[in-house]
A and B are shown apart, each in its own frame.
Chain A
Amino acid sequence: MASFGFTTVTQAIEEVGLHHPEGDFIFQDMKGEETRRRFADLPQITAPRCAALQAMGLNKGDRVGLIIVEPEDFVLSFFACLRIGVVPVPLYPPMSFGQLDAYVDRTATVLASSGAKALLATDSLQKILWSLVDRVPSLERIEPADSLGDFIGEAVYPDIGPDDLAFLQYTSGSTSDPKGVMVPHRCLIANAKALIEDSLKLTPQDRGVSWLPLYHDMGLIGFVLAPICHALPITFIPTLRFIKRPNVWMETIHRHRGTVTFAPNFAFALATRRARQSDLDKWDLSCLERVGCGAEPIQPETVRAFTETFGTHCGMPNSAVVPAYGMAESTLGISLKPHQELLRTRSVDADVFSATGEAREATDINSAVEHVSCGPAFPGHDIAIFNEQGERLAEGEEGEICLKGPSVTPGYFENPEATREAFRDGWLRTGDLGYLMDGEVYVTGRMKDLIIINGRNIHPQAVEWSVAEIESVRKGNVVAFTTPGPSGEELVVALETRTKEPAVLCDEVSSCIQRELSIKVSEVLCLKPGTLPKTSSGKLQRRKTRQLHLDGALVDAGARRGETSAGKDGLVVAKHLAKSMWSRIRSTTTGN
């Protein structure tokens, strides 16, 4: 095991090359050309950037926004910040031209909340972002990130300790109240050790391959910061390159002998569907011992198909897929399936579970729901399940997942109220629902989204997944929620469709939910594409959808959006290009 005893990521950046000079980060570009950066060279190649940042007047503790598209530029700029104690605030690049105003609003709010003094952005984004200087009181300047590496000057390196803030992770809290999770070095060091050493059992002889976006915790911590602390070499594929050519993922793993990679559930389906027989015959994936699956609810069928395809044809071990659970508030990870164990799922009696929250083994296969184990809590961390009254629940009983341990954030940046709400008796409240069984955590949903009808707890995903199977429903664009009715809560399903016969579709949806879940739907809303509200990271917003519906604004919104999308904002492929990279990644939770 490679424990170098680093106490800060800064120390790791500066010293990892002394232990493993030939370890490297390899950056692929859109055409597949690769640039190699050796660990031994990191201090030298980040030095000009450190000096450039200090020349801008940035000092230890100052915050700086990062909106950088190119992975290499992003990583080197981020490292430079950490070396001089400047606190980076990673932000995602604009998603589409049509929604630019909303993007700039959101970015301004986050920058203001973080009190950022400067913003480093990719050259081509400057013309979109320039107005931020006037809108964010603390913001003094926007600098092109591309040329920082050419700066001539000497930096002064301050002392950085384990309790110093490394960076701020903004979660997709509401626009009016953005929440910046504080990530001190000691949390990163603790989470990196738990992830890389204790759970995944990785050494400097392993290699990671990642196409995940770097402003997202799974890509940034999982494949940049944790690896640098443990001398794990990584190959980076641009996110968009993977989306366009999903086969480059496995091809790169095959060529670089990758032993670890991570992705959200959707990518497993994409990779399986797109793999050609000629590629499968060629690839040797026997090296690929760990394929983490997180950031989205994990669908066992998808994971099994993936294992079948790449196991049978390419020799990937059948224990490779690693269900993962985590969230920004716990730095990144909370629990993972133990290395080399097989995927564990439980078939649970669906009726009993939704009525009582008790995850009892199913006796009838026809009324069973399958739950995926995300393994035990990381060593040194504790998971417990509590009910709403704050009472600790027994194994097999569903409640709120709560966490204690060295990876847990000290709180939200300059937001004591949100911090107070996030903790109870020293436990971090994840807001996720789940249960423990044999010490392993099963994540079953998000608390605030739970649908309660006639005393029955129904997970909105159960409704949404059933409805998503219907042909004319736009994939991934279904939201289920409840509204108060004359005799209790009633189920409403809002979906996007292009069908010419909404009445027929409504009937189909009602009978589908009746058949699959035995619930009566009180209302089905067929909306035009683009109507359902989404978070900045592209997640559907159930609560906002519900509010819009209660306000009677949902259908109106659809009509307005429909007009503009045919008009001047119709940069169709631009939208898809951006959305495809960002929309599927949940930005707060790295598990179910």
Chain B
Amino acid sequence: MQDQELIQLIRNSLGEVAPKKKALFETITPNTRIDSLGLDSIAIMEMIGYVEENLDLVFDDEGLADVETIGNLMGLCTSGD
């Protein structure tokens, strides 16, 4: 999957959990920190659940532990390819 598709998938997943913030999510880049998005813990994990579901994979806990930015998350999505 291309980076552009991947970031769009993350945008869509964010939009699913917090539809009110769609405009903010349009501005995300690989450098965006996930904790700058103003989501609570449950919403973040939900978003990750969406991404997993769409890619049909399950991230391992150790991998998730190192994720701080959108780019890190994209890296995790492609690391299993």
Contact = CB atoms under 8 A, between A and B. Distances in A.
Interface residues of B, number: 25
B19 to A, nearest CB: 10
A274 interface: yes
B40 A573 contact: no
A572 B46 contact: no
B53 A580 contact: no
A575 B64 CA distance: 10
Contact of B68 (A30, A246, A571, A577): A571
Given A245-B53, A583-B41, A577 B61 contact: yes
A260 B17 CA distance: 27
B56 to A, nearest CB: 11
Interface in B33-76: 33-36, 38, 40-42, 44-46, 48-49, 52-53, 58, 61, 64-68, 72-73
A243 B46 contact: yes
Candidate in A31, A244, A573 with the most chain B CB atoms within 10 angstroms: A573
Give the interface size bracket for A toward B.
Answer: 20 to 34
A30 B38 CA distance: 27
A97 B68 CA distance: 13
Nearest to A240: B45
A576 B44 contact: yes
A574 interface: yes
A95 to B, nearest CB: 10
A467 to B, nearest CB: 15
Contacts of A573: 34, 44, 48, 64-68, 72-73
Nearest to B39: A576
Nearest to B65: A574
B34 A572 contact: yes
Nearest to B48: A244
A577 B35 contact: no
Contacts of A475: 40
A474 B49 CA distance: 21
Contacts of B42: 243, 266, 270, 580, 584
A30 B40 contact: no
A244 B66 contact: no
B46 A246 contact: yes
12 contacts: A246-B49, A471-B20, A498-B38, A572-B68, A573-B34, A573-B44, A573-B65, A574-B64, A574-B65, A575-B41, A576-B34, A576-B41
The 5 closest A-B pairs by CB, nearest first: A244-B49, A573-B67, A574-B65, A580-B41, A579-B41
Interface of B: 20, 33-36, 38, 40-42, 44-46, 48-49, 52-53, 58, 61, 64-68, 72-73
